[in-house]
Structure 1
Amino acid sequence: MADGKNEVGAADRARISFREDYEVRDWTKALGVSEQELREAVDAVGNSVDAVRAYLNKG
């Protein structure tokens, strides 16, 4: 089923999504990176928040 803005449910905080501008904005702010850095990290390790944090912190 498609992800609708009017549907109420728990957000998946364990995954990074680029579906909406606000999601990108929130993740870049939370992780302290640019959108490009975030996209590169997700491309490298997938969309798991834990994996992206580890990838960003190793440098």
Structure 2
Amino acid sequence: MAATAKKAKEEISNPDEDRSTICLPDRDAKIAEIAYRKAENRDFEPGHELEDWLEAEQEFLL
């Protein structure tokens, strides 16, 4: 049982783990914030929502 607990602890605290990943709700929230700023900068003119979102995704990924 001690070996199982030790292995579980190693998996949780693995220093080689990629910490640059971001969970999807956080990713979407950040993209939404960028898209909101784009809409705000053009005084929320309608009809550009998808464009704002797609541009925000690209900016987020850079």
**TM (normalized to structure 2)?**
0.29
More helix by share: 2
Q: Highest CA radius of gyration, 1 or 2? A: 2
